[in-house]
């Protein structure tokens, strides 16, 4: 038999006690579990909030790089914080300590007026002012807000709660970030304030960085605007000479776009000489650290054109004062240099013209006096030849004297041509025909020269003295021939052109229509020094005895006297080109009538007036040999007396143009008063220059240049008396 344990039976009181104990233990355990759960939930919420804060901080930091400007950054900050605190009302205010003002760049509110972009003087008893002045966070409840409103320290709709934190950079307050609620006075707690405090430094840093970035961008835009609006080119290059910054003016100067220039090395738009100049300038600036100027650089544009440039160069240093490149201003002075060259050329031309004019005056005077002497010799020879035949022993000698007089007369003609002593017979002339005639005359003896002509078939006539222009052409042809001793080619062109203001100023002629004649050869060319003096009288590159140096001087004088221009272009071993411009006309070309040959006799009365005794002596004899009745006068006053006494018997008056006391022009005018129909032949050792032309234009019947022979005199007399 086995004994079983004995269980004592519990009383109801004990059972109730045990039940209550168990219930207490369960409640305690449940409370512990609930507290643990609440703590866990708080930890989860804290972790979530921490994650949200971290996420917001990252977004705010990242927004500095992703937003374009400050307004976008403020919006991004608001959105990031709204995910944590649900901010319906939010503002950012910036503090400007130097002017003691507060500025609201961002202001979002449900009820109040928008204060965005408004600036106010800061006051310490305002909400934002208090945060700024104290530098501490601030939470103000409804009661305090109502009291402030009652004291007129709060404007606008009164919120239930206001919370703000200072924005600081390195302990310095730069602004305020604040929020408020119009609905719930318990909307924000201590944790919310801590959140704002936590992100405030990041917000301040983001705003400051963006402000700096935007200020830099605005500065760069302003800098770029200034650079792009200056007329001079601006550039920055690295130490190797590669462009790192250029402005529009430099791009225009070089003919490249900004994109094409950036990174381009300066050697790409200059020759080796200028590359060495630039290297020398940059090297000096680098070694000395001092700015330098360069006044003679040449840049080659993209299109190949060369531009003259002045530039100032200085060194660029980094924050540690180390050289990192060069900057400079480049000014295009091409037009100025060209204008200066043109001015110097015009000055040189003026000086040359003045020098030639002075020499011309001297040469003209010498030629005039020499022609008077030749007239005496020619007259005596003509008289002696009239009394001798070919069998006379002196006939050959007299003919030789006439030949020498003609040669000497040709020399004085050159002197007068150089002296621009005038044109003899100016008539509308076909220049093409005159050139062809001169080529034919030249080509008879110079067959080793191949002549090519290119004529303008529509060329207008030119008003010229054909004989003088023929002399010009023959001189140019002979010069070309002498430059090609072994033979060569000569190209002659004519063309109608219009001379504009710039060309007229450069050549010293009037604007208008001109005939252009060019004579080009394939000869040895002309040295630069000689080319500058090519038209000087008595200047020659030929050996002694082969030239007088008057040929081209005469050419110059004749062309200038025809209101034209002449210039030469040449380089050694590349031939020479002479270009002549002569004013063209729309008048019809003059057709020559047949000339009478031999001595023309007559029986009229002639008054001969000349202040040179040898001229009146030989002139009287010549006229009497022709059958005329002659009165001779040595002055204008004497001529007037003779004419007044013998007016009915005098059919022609021959007047010397240059006389003392009363000139030939004055005598002509006085005789015209006595007899408007009087016939007058003007005579002079000068050619038919400006003074003679004026007399001819006043009604003088003809002109004859000394020295003349008896045949020339008789023909001219008959032309006047028989007309």
Q: Report DSSP letters for 584-622, one per residue.
A: B--SPPP-PPPPP-S------EEEEE-S-HHHHHHHHHH
Q: Is the peptide bond before 707 cis (omega within 30 degrees of 0)?
A: yes
User: Distance between CA 692 and CA 686 in Å, rounded?
Assistant: 9
- Looking at residue 355, its pLDDT comes to 67
Q: Is 154 exposed, middle or buried (0-12, 13-18, 19+ CB in 10 A)?
A: buried
Cβ atoms of residues 276 and 296 within 8 Å: no
| CB neighbour list of residue 695: distance below 8 Å, 6 or more residues apart | 657, 664, 665, 668, 682
**Nearest by Cα to 173 from 138, 200, 199:** 200
Cα 146 to its chain centre, rounded Å, is 76
CATH class (in words) of the domain with range 422-583: alpha beta
User: 320 is written with which tokens?
Assistant: 């540690």
pLDDT at position 592, please?
Answer: 56
Q: Cα(123)–Cα(132) distance, rounded to whole angstroms?
A: 10
Query: In the chain, where are the structural domains located?
Result: 63-218, 230-332, 422-583, 605-722
* pTM more than 0.75: no
* Bridge partners (DSSP) listed for residue 493: 454, 518
What would the CATH number be for the domain defined by 605-722?
3.40.50.2300
The pLDDT, as a whole number, for residue 548 is 46
Do the first three CATH levels of 63-218 and 230-332 match, i.e. the same topology? yes
Class in CATH terms, 63-218: alpha beta
pLDDT (0 to 100) of residue 595: 47
Helix (H) or strand (E) holding 2: none
CB 522 within 8 A of CB 543: no
Helices 395-418 and 466-482: crossing angle in degrees, nearest 10, is 90
As a CATH number, domain 230-332 is 3.30.450.20
Dihedral in degrees, nearest 10, Cα atoms 195, 201, 202, 206: 140
State which residues of the chain have pLDDT below 50.
1-4, 420-422, 543-549, 594-595
The DSSP line for 290-321 is --EEEEEEEEEPTTS-EEEEEEEEEEEE-TTS
């Amino acid at each position: 038999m086995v004994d079983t344990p004995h269980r004592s039976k519990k009383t109801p009181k004990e059972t109730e006690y045990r039940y209550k104990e168990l219930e207490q233990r369960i409640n305690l355990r449940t409370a512990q579990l609930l507290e643990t759960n609440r703590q866990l939930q708080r930890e989860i919420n804290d972790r979530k909030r921490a994650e949200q804060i971290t996420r917001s901080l990252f977004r705010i930091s990242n927004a500095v790089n992703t937003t374009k400007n400050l307004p976008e950054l403020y919006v991004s900050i608001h959105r990031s914080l709204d995910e944590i605190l649900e901010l319906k009302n939010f503002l950012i205010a910036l503090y400007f300590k130097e002017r003691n003002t507060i500025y609201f760049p961002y202001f979002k509110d449900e009820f109040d007026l928008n204060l965005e972009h408004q600036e106010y003087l800061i006051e310490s008893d305002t909400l934002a002012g208090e945060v700024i002045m104290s530098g501490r966070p601030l939470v103000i409840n409804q009661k305090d807000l109502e009291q402030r409103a009652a004291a007129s320290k709060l404007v606008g709709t009164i919120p239930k709660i206001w919370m703000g934190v200072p924005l600081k950079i390195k302990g310095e307050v730069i602004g305020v970030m604040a929020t408020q609620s119009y609905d719930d006075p318990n909307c924000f707690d201590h944790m919310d304030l801590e959140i704002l405090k936590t992100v405030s430094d990041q917000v301040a840093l983001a705003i400051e960085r963006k402000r700096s970035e935007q200020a830099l961008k605005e500065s760069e835009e302003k800098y770029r605007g200034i650079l792009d609006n200056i007329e001079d080119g601006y550039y920055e290059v690295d130490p190797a000479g590669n462009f790192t910054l250029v402005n529009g003016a430099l791009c225009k100067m070089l003919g490249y776009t900004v994109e094409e220039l950036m990174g381009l090395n300066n050697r790409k738009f200059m020759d080796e000489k200028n590359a060495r100049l630039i290297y020398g300038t940059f090297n000096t600036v680098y070694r000395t650290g001092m700015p330098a100027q360069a006044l003679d650089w040449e840049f080659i544009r993209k299109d190949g054109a060369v531009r003259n440039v002045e530039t100032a160069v200085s060194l660029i240093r980094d924050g540690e004062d180390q050289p990192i490149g060069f900057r400079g201003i480049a000014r295009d002075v091409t037009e100025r240099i060209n204008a200066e060259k043109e001015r110097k050329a015009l000055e040189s031309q003026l000086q040359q013209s003045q020098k030639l004019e002075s020499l011309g005056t001297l040469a003209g005077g010498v030629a005039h006096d020499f022609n008077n002497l030749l007239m005496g010799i020619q007259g005596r020879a003509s008289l002696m030849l009239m009394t001798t035949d070919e069998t006379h022993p002196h006939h050959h000698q007299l003919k030789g004297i006439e030949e020498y007089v003609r040669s000497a007369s040709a020399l004085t003609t050159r002197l007068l041509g150089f002296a621009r002593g005038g044109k003899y017979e100016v008539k509308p002339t076909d220049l093409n025909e005159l050139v062809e005639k001169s080529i034919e005359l030249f080509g008879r003896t110079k067959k080793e020269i191949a002549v090519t002509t290119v004529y303008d078939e529509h060329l207008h006539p030119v008003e010229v003295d054909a004989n003088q222009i023929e002399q010009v052409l023959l001189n140019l042809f002979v010069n070309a021939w002498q430059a090609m001793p072994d033979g060569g080619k000569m190209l002659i062109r004519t063309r109608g052109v219009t001379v504009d203001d710039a060309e007229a100023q450069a050549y010293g002629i009037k604007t208008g229509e001109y005939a252009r004649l060019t004579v080009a050869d394939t000869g040895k060319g002309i040295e630069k020094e000689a080319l500058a003096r090519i038209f000087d009288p008595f200047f020659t590159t030929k050996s002694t005895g082969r030239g007088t140096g008057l040929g081209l001087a005469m050419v110059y004088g004749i062309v200038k006297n025809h209101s034209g221009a002449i210039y030469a272009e040449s380089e050694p071993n590349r031939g020479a080109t002479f270009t002549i411009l002569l004013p063209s006309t729309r008048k019809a070309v003059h057709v020559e009538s047949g000339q009478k040959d031999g001595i023309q006799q007559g029986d009229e009365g002639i008054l001969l007036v000349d202040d040179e005794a040898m001229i009146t002596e030989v002139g009287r004899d010549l006229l009497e040999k022709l059958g005329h009745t002659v009165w001779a006068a040595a002055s204008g006053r004497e001529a007037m007396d003779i004419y007044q006494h013998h007016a009915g018997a005098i059919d022609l008056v021959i007047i010397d143009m240059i006389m003392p006391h009363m000139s030939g022009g004055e005598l002509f005018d006085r005789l015209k008063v006595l007899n408007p129909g009087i016939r007058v032949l003007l005579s002079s050792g000068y050619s038919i220059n400006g003074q003679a032309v004026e007399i001819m234009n006043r009604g003088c019947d003809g002109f004859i240049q000394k020295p003349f022979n008896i045949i020339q005199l008789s023909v001219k007399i008959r032309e006047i008396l028989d007309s």
